C-alpha cells in the first residue's frame, strides 16, 4: 500500500479516474474533495434559501388575511417579530 492509497476513501472517491483522467495522487485528490465540498455547500445554501422563501410567502399570506396578530404570525412561522415587521414593511401590507 502506497502513501497516496492510504488517503483514498472508497465511499467518497469513486469515479475519480473518470473525472480527472488519472489515478488519484495527493494533490489531485485534494482538488477533487475541494470541488465536492463546494458543491455540497452550495446545495445546502440553496436549500436554506428555499426554506426562507417559503416561510416569507407564508408570512405574506397570513399578513394579507389580517386575522392574526404580528406576534401570532411570528410564533406560527417560527420567526422573530422583527422579521415579520420587515416583511410587512417591504411588501406595504
Q: Give ∠ CA 88-92-93 in degrees, rounded to 5.
A: 60
Whether the CB-CB separation of 85 and 70 falls below 8 Å is answered with: yes
Q: Model's pTM, two decimal places? A: 0.55
At 76, list the grid cell.
406560527
pLDDT of residue 50: 82
74-83 pLDDT per residue, tens: 998 988 999 9
b/e sequence 55-65, b meaning 16+ C-beta within 10 Å = ebeebbebbee
Across 3-17, 21-35, 36-50, 74-88, the highest mean pLDDT is recorded for 74-88
32-70 pLDDT per residue, tens: 788 888 888 887 777 788 888 888 999 999 999 989 899
Residue 66 — left, alpha, or beta (φ > 0 → left; ψ -120 to 50 → alpha)?
A: left
Amino acid at each position: 500500500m502506497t502513501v497516496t492509497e492510504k488517503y483514498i476513501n472508497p465511499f467518497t472517491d469513486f469515479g475519480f479516474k473518470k473525472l480527472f483522467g488519472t489515478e488519484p495522487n495527493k494533490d489531485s485528490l485534494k482538488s477533487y474533495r475541494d470541488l465536492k465540498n463546494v458543491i455540497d455547500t452550495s446545495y445546502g445554501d440553496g436549500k436554506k434559501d428555499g426554506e426562507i422563501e417559503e416561510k416569507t410567502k407564508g408570512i405574506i399570506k397570513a399578513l394579507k388575511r389580517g386575522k392574526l396578530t404580528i406576534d401570532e404570525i411570528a410564533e406560527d412561522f417560527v420567526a422573530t417579530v422583527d422579521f415579520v415587521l420587515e416583511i410587512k414593511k417591504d411588501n406595504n401590507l
